[in-house]
Amino acid sequence: MKITQAMVLAAGLGTRLRPITDSMPKPLVRVAGKPMIDYALDALAAAGVEHAVVNVHHFADQMEAHLAVYPRLQVEVSDERDQLMDSGGGLVKGLRLLQPGPLFVMNADLFWVGEPSGQPTSLQRLGDAFDPDTMDMLLLCVPLEKTTGHNGKKDFQLDDSGRLSRYTDGAQPLVYAGAIAMHSALCADASQTPFSLNRYFDEAIARGRLYGLILDGHWLTVGTPEALDEAEKVLADLSVGA
């Protein structure tokens, strides 16, 4: 399924990345010279997305100025200056600026590198594999050993049919990579209040409708100054090896 619109979650406070985020929003922190959010926006543009909504709160003026000149797709802002809506509430609010239909949901502070060249990107694969008749959400996931900067939490495990469940033990531990393919209809009856996307994950698991797709590449999260240093090293090593 071709997906041409997206919601990018970028309104967090970035408290663990202080003191860097005392003067700027986390999505604008540069990793290897590039603002974190641009990794997400570039991945969306490469996958054929034409319109993205980005929510803002912390140093919202800086975010709006940056997004206004991003060149590769149309970007609109979902303003959360007055109230942070958390991941689920932020998605529901942002959907009002998108058309009904399929969309990607992306985190602005998680990204991946090292995808095989000449092949469909991970987001293209995610869109192609999404089937709203059988899935509430299709999550991009990554094996724990292919992460940098992660706290070690094991989020999910995958069964032989591609369904996800919360990690218990024995299976390969997977980390949620911060990208979802879904249909806006899933949020049709959602309340306009702050809540976590984990609510949708758990409800979909209970219905047998949460599915996963494995990322082909290396995944990075930059939640702390130490993780920023680790990410810079990974990207430098990849650049040397390219």
Distance CA 27, CA 172 (A): 30
Tell me: pLDDT of 204 over 50: yes
pLDDT score for 222 = 86
**pTM score of the predicted model:** 0.93
pLDDT score for 82 = 92
pLDDT level of residue 239 (50, 70, 90 thresholds): low
First-to-last alpha carbon distance for the chain, in angstroms, is: 32
Distance CA 122, CA 212 (A): 12
Please state, for a pLDDT cut of 90, what percent of the chain lies above it. 69
**Pair 145, 122: CB distance under 8 Å:** no
Kindly list the domain boundaries of the chain, sorted by start residue.
Answer: 5-241
The mean per-residue pLDDT over the stretch 212-223 comes to 91
Distance CA 128, CA 111 (A): 20
Tell me: pLDDT of 163 over 50: yes
Please state, for a pLDDT cut of 70, what percent of the chain lies above it. 98
CB-hemisphere CA count at 13 Å for 109?
26
Q: Which CATH architecture has domain 5-241?
A: Alpha-Beta Complex (3.90)
Mean pLDDT of the chain: 92
